[in-house]
Amino acid sequence: MTELRKGSFIRKVKDISMGGALALALLSGTALVSCSSNDDESEYSYEETSYGKGIRSHIKEVSPGEFKIISEENVPTDSSMAIVSYLDGHKDTLNPMAAKALIDQEIRSNPHMGYHSGLSSMLLYGGMGYLLGRNSSYSYMNNYRGRMNPEQSRSFYANPGAYASSRSAALGVETSRSVRTVTTRPAGGRKGFFGRSSGRSGG
Q: Is residue 177, in this structure, part of any structural domain at all?
A: yes
Domain that holds residue 112: 4-29+43-202
Q: Is residue 34, in this structure, part of any structural domain at all?
A: no
Q: Is residue 120, in this structure, part of any structural domain at all?
A: yes
**The total number of structural domains that make up the chain:** 1
Percent above pLDDT 90 for the chain = 47
Global pTM value? 0.71
Q: Is residue 37, in this structure, part of any structural domain at all?
A: no
List of the chain residues with pLDDT < 50: 1-22, 24, 30-37, 189-203
What distance in Å separates the CA atoms of residue 185 and residue 163, rounded to the nearest whole number?
Answer: 47
Which of 25, 80, 31, 75 lies closest to 50, judged by CA? 25
Q: Do the strands 53-63 and 81-85 form a parallel or antiparallel pair, or are they unpaired?
A: parallel
Q: What are 49-99's pLDDT values in tens digits?
A: 889 999 999 999 999 999 999 999 999 999 999 999 999 999 999 999 999
Q: Is residue 38, in this structure, part of any structural domain at all?
A: no
Q: Is residue 47, in this structure, part of any structural domain at all?
A: yes
What distance in Å separates the CA atoms of residue 34 and residue 179, rounded to the nearest whole number?
Answer: 20
Amino acid letter at 3?
E
Q: Is residue 36, in this structure, part of any structural domain at all?
A: no
Q: Is residue 109, in this structure, part of any structural domain at all?
A: yes
